[in-house]
Amino acid sequence: MTSQKLKDARDFLSKYLPFAPAKEQPAFHVTGGIGWINDPNGFSVYQGEYHLFFQYYPYSNRWGPMHWGHVKTRDFIRWERLSVALAPDMPYDKDGCFSGCAIELPDGRQMLMYTGVRQERQENGVVDDFQTQCIAVGDGINYEKIEANPVLTAADLPEGGSPHDFRDPKIWREGETYYMVVGNRPADGSGSILLYESADCFQWRFVSVLAACHNQFGRMWECPDFFPLGGKHVLLTSPQEMTSIGLEFHPGNGTVCLIGEYDELAHHLLRESVQAIDYGLDFYAPQTLETPDGRRVMIAWMQNWETSNCRDETLRFFGQMTVPRELSVRDGRLIQNPVRELEAYRGVKISYRNVMVCGETNLQGIKGRILDMTVTVRPANENTLYRRFRLSVARDGERCTTIRYKPESNTLRVDRTNSGFPHDIVSIREFQVRPRQGEIKLRVVMDRYSVELFVNDGEQAASFVIYTPQEASAISFDADGTVLLDIEKYDLVFDGTERAGQSV
């Protein structure tokens, strides 16, 4: 049965989506078309297609009671918009259908598991969230919330666990058993990741605390995901209230990747390394799926709570997803590169080899706002280190977005101070990189309102949103000292059909 709330959201979208023309949307990054989105949810394979749901409030460009929006794709690049999947229409989720996951059941139905939020005023007058895990089952378009909801409540928490911060379930299957990780706040006030198991995906039993924060990396750990990769196990999570640690972690909402061995008896992650997942300004709440050919692919909200009040008010959408990224583990680190499917959209190739740059340089054919470009930078003279290299994109007379490398400190700095924001927000991020034999390789993927940077074949990524007018499409190179550049640049070409944000 379709509730009035769900029907209203679906009607609203069909009526107003035509007012958000495709040319004012990213060409291949998912948005809500109109309205607000945050976390990716239910990123999964269902009946041979990739489905993606997301936290959605269609009625305005600001966060509101959460619905689930829905798109699907065959290649991670061209997305088809489907109707809104969930609305906050039950007593147990009346204040929001928060983040969660999707899985195909053995009987061919698709199951969504999400966090239902109900707010209540406490005796002391404070309004608090009560968060429970709930299930909806459907056919890839329409979903019914089950009678037994909520299926996980405060009664399923380990001692000291908070029912106010109990959210973002992610399920996977191992043989005959289903497992689920979910974020929680234990008695020490920081975050922990709880592990549950089930034989049928409907009835769940608490197993263990898979990993805990102990107030070390932020506090509440949101949106966990856990999977094997490259002989190790990887836990992704998005901590709130981080404090900075060197150039690795910035304050506020951040993302953390813990890599280690999985102790299958104790059901505990024995952590070996901890790193940021993305070093840019706009990245949060990543979620992964495994493709039928065995690739682990991650997508994230290309936005951050810290700057989410800052927007271009002329646009009908707020929030977009990253390009989906293939993950691997190399030398104990998480590696991420855009899905290989993106290469099918490459148009004309423009390439240069050994271009000597000392001072500012523009190159014929190197410009654009929807592109995939790789620049390899090395010193012109092995004995004289240059002081600085700068790549400027989305450039016109007044504005530009820059990526600067300093070989002396091995630091990269992204700067979007002059990228169309009418707000005084954090616009610079600096991070440590590892050059290889003196070279640094920068792959830049741009799509109208974003820049995603992949350093040294995916060893690090840095994502950020820009609102610079589209006419600002110049690209320039600049060095203090002398560098040699190799450049390979492709425009990304779409023929206009079935673009994200376009079809209903």
Residues that bind ligand FRU (CB under 6 A): 38-39, 55, 66, 98-99, 115, 167-168, 222-223, 284-285
Six-digit token pair at 114? 């999400």
Q: Nearest distance from residue 198's CB to ligand FRU, in Å?
A: 21
Q: In the complex, what is the shortest distance from the CB of residue 183 to ligand FRU, in angstroms, rounded to a whole number?
A: 7
Query: Which stretches does DSSP call E strand in 60-122?
Result: 67-73, 79-86, 97-104, 110-121
What letter does residue 242 receive in the DSSP assignment? B
Q: What is the set of active-site residues?
A: 39
Q: Is 246 left (phi over 0), alpha (psi -120 to 50) or beta?
A: left
Q: How many CA atoms lie within 13 A of 19 on its CB side?
A: 11
CA 215 to chain centroid, in Å, comes to 24
Beta strand segments in 217-295, E: 221-229, 232-239, 256-263, 268-276, 284-290
Minimum distance between the CB of residue 347 and ligand FRU, rounded to whole angstroms?
35
Closer by beta carbon to ligand FRU, 63 or else 494: 63
Min dist CB 367 to ligand FRU, Å, is 35
CA distance 236 to 275: 10
Where do runs of H (alpha helix) occur along 250-346? none
| The two structure tokens encoding residue 26 | 């990213």
Question: Which of residues 239 and 324 has its CB atom nearest to ligand FRU in the complex?
Answer: 239
Q: How far is CA 132 from CA 93, 148, 184, 264, in A?
A: 8, 12, 11, 27
Distance CA 257, CA 293 (A): 24
Closer to ligand FRU at the Cβ: 222 or 478?
A: 222
- Nearer to ligand FRU by Cβ, of 285 and 475: the residue is 285
Query: Smallest distance, Å, CB 420 to ligand FRU?
Result: 24
Task: Give the nearest distance from C-beta 115 to ligand FRU in angstroms.
Answer: 5
Residue 112, beta-bridge partner list: 102, 136
- The type of residue at 287 is Q
- For ligand FRU, the nearest residue by Cβ is 98
Cβ closest to ligand FRU, residue 167 vs residue 232: 167
